[in-house]
A and B are shown apart, each in its own frame.
Chain A
Amino acid sequence: MSDSNTLGELFARRGVSRRVFMKYAAYTASLMALPPAMTTAMAQGLANARRQSVIWLSFQECTGCTESITRSFSPTLEELIFDFISLDYHHTLQAASGHAAEEARLAAMAENKGKYIVVVDGSVPIKDGGIYSTIAGISNLQMLQETVADAFAVISVGTCAAFGGIPYANPNPTGAVPISQIVTDKPVINISGCPPIAEAMTGTISYVLSFGAIPELDHLGRPLAFFGETIHDRCYRRPFYERGMLAKGFDDEGARKGWCLFELGCKGPITYNACATQKWNGGTSFPIQSGHGCLGCSEPGFWDKGSFYKPLSAGIGDVGQYIAGAAAAGVALGAASAAIARRRKNKAMREG
């Protein structure tokens, strides 16, 4: 499980030189927009680090985050993360199951006390004592609290863990909450997205591993390296937005010419993520490039912001019947005012 050898020594035993760290550091530093000068520091940090114990807890989740992190962009380069960390507990990827799996988790916690990282995907339900999601006979809440007690840091991957996500959406019957609402005494990094971009997860873990520190975070606890800019600010269709050329339907002339998708509900302007620069599937494409507006999946409450297809400049609620009622009421009030005025006039004329 844990190894007293450094990563440098582990790779050397496999006949791989320390150049692998330089290459990996160059790749990661580039992803996180770190100055090239930091590459050497990161490479050395990695080479001298011990395999990082990582305990991955999965709660109310769909496993999409695991799917994302294992769909490596650069297989071989991306897979290195699984050499750098010792994934001591992971429901989908581990070989053990049942009691053996839980024992492995507890043993990793004991052996790496104060030094292991807890990665969480999925939200935690707390209503009715947390009975709506249980694993190995204990509630998610209990498992989270006992596992993070001696952790070094917590990384919430996916919008569910970071902000509540799908389970948190209206009406939230299970009382789902984000991890940061439960863990308040350890550093928590939020890597949101539904799912998050693989490089956002691996890059952040690598940073923590090489420098033993948390990267710079935004006001929602997300690494600025990946969540510092909105999709809109880096979107290649921005020139069309600036020229007022918006597609009005999914198959109209504008859509076929690749015009801006603002009117089709794109939430790009208020969504912070790296989709427009990193893209998905090895830089192939991202939703807007494929013709669909951004859903805003890395933002809190994105399921409850009204239709995905209503533009940001339009109201969320249904105004139609509301307006009709208001107009009717206005006419009634106007008629009443006019009636009062007439009565006063007639009275004045009679008296005068």
Chain B
Amino acid sequence: MDLLDFARGPALQVALGIFVLGVTWRLMSLLLLPRLRDKSVPKKGTLAAPLAAVWEVIRRTWPDKVFARQTMVWHVNGFVFHFGLAIVILFFAPHIAFFRDLLGISWPALPNNAIYAVGALTVAALVISLIRRFANPVQRLLSGADDYFSWLVTFLPVITGLLANSHLVARYETLLAIHILCVAAFLIWLPFGKLMHTFYVFIARGQTGAHLARRGAQL
């Protein structure tokens, strides 16, 4: 069994298994906690809880006027690498083939050179976010091993994917194997660290919205 067979075989199986196990575990352990029942009377014009939850998630995608000047650059940078990541993962033809094999569904792809450009932008945005985390004193104070490690396991699949596609540094089969192993590492780590925000962000923001929509404070 060579490196690529290992990466496509046991490594991916174990990684997907741990990913599913970890995500369901952490989601269930949260969702099965006792619910806080708010028995106070909701203020006039309150949206129903589910609607308020959705609205809060949408509202938070853009910084509030008060913070806009300070945070806009970093907010946009975050958009670039999140959307970049989504575009590269979801619209590169070989990735779509991966999803089709796993889930049975398929959709149209974007041309490779477009994906490559987006991938390069994603790498740039990721590097900028790392520099910011390190250079800004407040962020450096707040950042721990989880933050840096989560950054690393997100960065590696993108950079190895770009290297593989441009046939640089090593033979293609080696680069492909390394890329798949980096994706496996990402999948294994995701449920257990800061990367879990992938699922938590919607629950947390939604919960805040549902709770505080009925209160007097106007958000």
A-B contact pairs, 5 of them (CB 8 A): A311-B97, A314-B97, A315-B12, A315-B98, A330-B20
Query: Does A165 belong to the interface (CB within 8 Å)?
Result: no
B16 touches A311 (CB 8 A): no
Task: List the one stretch of A103-111, A115-123, A154-162, A337-345 in contact with chain B.
Answer: A337-345
Residues on B with beta carbons closer than 8 Å to the beta carbon of A230: 172
- List A residues 302-317 near B (Cβ within 8 Å): 304-306, 310-317
Residues on A with beta carbons closer than 8 Å to the beta carbon of B26: 334
Output the least CB separation between B8 and chain A (Å).
Answer: 5
A327 touches B9 (CB 8 A): no
Contacts A269-B172, A270-B172, A301-B2: A311 and B29 contacting too (C-beta < 8 A)?
no
Residues on B with beta carbons closer than 8 Å to the beta carbon of A306: 5, 8-9
Query: Does A262 belong to the interface (CB within 8 Å)?
Result: yes
- Select which of B21, B28, B29, B113 is within 8 A of A326 by beta carbon: B21
Task: List the one stretch of A9-17, A46-54, A239-247 in contact with chain B.
Answer: A239-247
Contacts A314-B8, A317-B9, A327-B21: A270 and B176 contacting too (C-beta < 8 A)?
yes
Output the least CB separation between A352 and chain B (Å).
Answer: 16
Closest to A267 in B: B173
Residues on A with beta carbons closer than 8 Å to the beta carbon of B22: 330
Contacts A301-B1, A330-B25, A334-B28: A312 and B94 contacting too (C-beta < 8 A)?
yes
Determine the distance from Cα of A314 to Cα of B12 in the docked complex, in whole angstroms.
9
B97 touches A338 (CB 8 A): no
- Select which of B4, B16, B23, B28 is within 8 A of A322 by beta carbon: B16
Query: Does B101 belong to the interface (CB within 8 Å)?
Result: yes
Closest to A263 in B: B97
Output the least CB separation between A207 and chain B (Å).
Answer: 24
Closest to A218 in B: B171
Output the least CB separation between A345 and chain B (Å).
Answer: 7
Contacts A242-B113, A338-B28, A342-B33: A315 and B93 contacting too (C-beta < 8 A)?
no
Interface residues in A, total, Cβ within 8 A:
44
Contacts A301-B2, A333-B28, A338-B29: A315 and B113 contacting too (C-beta < 8 A)?
no
Query: Does B34 belong to the interface (CB within 8 Å)?
Result: yes
Query: Does A279 belong to the interface (CB within 8 Å)?
Result: no
Output the least CB separation between B196 and chain A (Å).
Answer: 13
B95 touches A270 (CB 8 A): no
A246 touches B93 (CB 8 A): yes
B102 touches A315 (CB 8 A): yes
Residues on B with beta carbons closer than 8 Å to the beta carbon of A37: none
Output the least CB separation between A241 and chain B (Å).
Answer: 7
- List A residues 267-308 near B (Cβ within 8 Å): 269-270, 300-301, 304-306
1/0 contact string of B2-45 vs chain A (CB within 8 Å): 10110011101100111111111111111111100000000000
Query: Does A329 belong to the interface (CB within 8 Å)?
Result: yes
Residues on A with beta carbons closer than 8 Å to the beta carbon of B100: 248, 263
Determine the distance from Cα of A150 to Cα of B213 in the docked complex, in whole angstroms.
90
Determine the distance from Cα of A345 to Cα of B33 in the docked complex, in whole angstroms.
10
